[in-house]
Chain A
Amino acid sequence: MIELQGLTKRYGDKLAVDGLTCTVRPGIVTGFLGPNGAGKSTTMRMMLDLDRPTAGSVHLDGKHYRQLRDPLKVVGALLDAKAMHGGRSAYNHLLCLAQSNGIPRARVAEVLDTVGLTSVAKKRSKGFSLGMGQRLGIAGALLGDPQVLLFDEPVNGLDPEGIHWIRNLMKNLASQGRTVFVSSHLMSEMALTAEHLIVIGQGRLLADTSMADFIAQNSRSYVRLRSPERERLLDVLSGSGITAVTAGDGSLEVDGADGARLGELAARHQIVLHELSPQQASLEEAFMQLTAESVEYHAHSAPAPGPAPGPQPPGSGWGTDWQKKGS
């Protein structure tokens, strides 16, 4: 169990984390989502007492991190896969961590085996691929058999097999009753792993909800209709008790409707349709919509192919963005 209370971090005049209050519960994987620069890594560093909170506090099973005697036995973390001395062998890297927390030497070989690095245990980590480095970092997190696990973007740079492996690992750890807190900026990734979601943007809490609720609320399926006789189509639809909303580009959107039924209805009234297409707003879109206001670093993208569902992020261009940031 991790409890954040009004957690705040200020770097100079930059508020990286802003009064974050939430609880991460054991037994499930909790996804920690936010766009780039939202404050995810900063929050995790404060959980480990690496960065000092400007205000607020973090409690891990009721204790401050610095009060823990052998912290690796309580909390295991993968913050940055490269947080190791490249000249040291994988085995020695883990051994020095184990010794500092009174963890038996035999455990080093065990975790190396778990992450599949036994064959390169004596090799210096400098030569490791990104994925191998990530695995070594995870071995370090598992070393003390901790009840709380923090992973900062663990799938970064992993191949599909590695991603699959991490996903299962996190689910397994959670099913053993551990607290698993994992950050990502990919909603689709979290949808496959996390049972609970904490979403932040510009350091502020935007959502704290179960995955099921988030999906129910946000994965809207609808049918898009386009017709030269829009007004008549609207009348026919409402005559049949179907509500349609007019989208920005003049098309009609009907929530949760059956495409076939709409087509038959139009045919019966001899209305010409130019488009009838079932649509599914993805979780990714829902997430983008949720965080749109707080996205800090907008890419200046080429016009999206076809009309994008959902409102555009406000001020999504350099032109307006710098004004917003300067204010």
Chain B
Amino acid sequence: MAVATQVLQSEWTKIKSVRSTVWTLGLALVVTVALGILISALSKSNFDKLSPKERLTFDPTFTSFAGMGLGQLAMIVFGVLVVSNEYSTGMIRTSLAAVPQRGTFLFSKITIATLLTLAVSMVTSFLAFFLGQAMLGEHKASIGDPGVLRAVIGGGLYMTLITVFSMGIATMLRSPMLSLGILMPFFFLISNILGAVPATKKVAQYFPDQAGRKVMQVITLDDDAPYGPWGGFAIMVLWVVAALVGAYVVLRERDA
């Protein structure tokens, strides 16, 4: 449809022309990679102190992704701002007056932001992997090892999906502060805490981030999750789809 290509182009101009795009995406990359390098280096120097069981379950690939827990927060900020900037600045009225077909507006915006996120996330994931492995020395994994390439690509997909999920939530909530106030503590703290407590683990393992993280792991010996890497990924995709459907349903009828 001709109209959709116009709107995609317009959204690309929008995303390029604000500074927060470079800031948040750049921060996500730097934090993820730098922290991955740091933790990989620490793991190497500590490797001798690990117990035999810990050595057996040591996952060099996942270790190099250790920065993602923090880096994803910058991605969440990007995802939230892309959407809620429209509301906090009042631009939404100008935008919807220009594109009154709200589905076209929403999905064009999300498509452009997703493609950009995907590109940055993949670069981030591969950089974090290769630089992290370089730090690990003799304990490193190779990209050709079974499951490793899947995990590295999975790392890029995971970051992308977390961002898209944030866009869906931000569309429903409109306010950037409210969206960040819910998403950041949830993904940084609450989900991890609930995932660590045995009583709530059964539920928490179905949270989008916990399920999605599975695809980034290569060595999963002591893991009792009822799904495999792509199974966990599929659960995360379901969450994202639900958030997007919710966003569309809310936006379609809401007064701008």
Query: Which of B3-11, B141-149, B151-159, B241-249 lies at the interface with chain A?
Result: B3-11
B137 cross-chain contacts in A, Cβ below 8 A: none
Residue from B6, B86, B89, B256 within 8 A of A101 (CB atoms): B6
Category for how many chain B residues contact A: 20 to 34
Tell whether, in the assembled complex, residue A51 and residue B13 are in contact, meaning their CB atoms are under 8 Å apart.
no
Which partner residue on chain B sits nearest A101 by CB separation? B98
**Interface contact B91-A51, CB-CB below 8 Å:** no
Shortest beta-carbon distance from B110 to chain A in Å = 15
B192 within 8 A of A: no
B255 touches A85 (CB 8 A): no
**Distance in angstroms between the alpha carbons of A80 and B10 in the assembled complex:** 21
- Cα separation A124 to B172 with both chains bound (whole Å): 28
Chain A min CB distance to B153 (Å)? 32
Asked if A278 is at the interface (CB within 8 A of a chain B CB), the reply is no
Quick check: is B93 within 8 A (CB to CB) of the other chain? yes
Please provide the chain B residues from 212 to 231 with a CB less than 8 Å away from any CB of chain A in the complex.
none
Interchain CB contact under 8 A, B255 and A50: yes
Stretch at the interface among B17-25, B47-55, B72-80, B181-189: B17-25
Contacts of A65 in B (CB 8 A): 100
Whether A100 and B99, one on each chain, are in contact in the complex, defined by CB atoms closer than 8 angstroms, is yes
Residues of B close to A96: CB separation below 8 A? 10-11, 13-14, 17
A87 lies within 8 A of B20 (CB)? yes
Those of B15-62 within 8 Å (CB) of chain A: 16-20
Cβ 8 A contact of A92, one of B13, B86, B255: B13
Hey, which bits of chain B sit against chain A, CB under 8 A? 2-3, 6-7, 9-11, 13-14, 16-20, 85-86, 89-101, 253, 255-256
- Chain A residues with CB under 8 Å of chain B are 45, 48-52, 65-66, 68-72, 75, 77, 79-80, 82-89, 92-93, 95-97, 99-102, 140
What are 13 A-B residue pairs whose CB atoms fall within 8 Å in the complex?
A50-B93, A50-B97, A71-B97, A71-B99, A79-B93, A83-B92, A83-B94, A85-B89, A92-B14, A93-B17, A100-B9, A100-B10, A101-B6
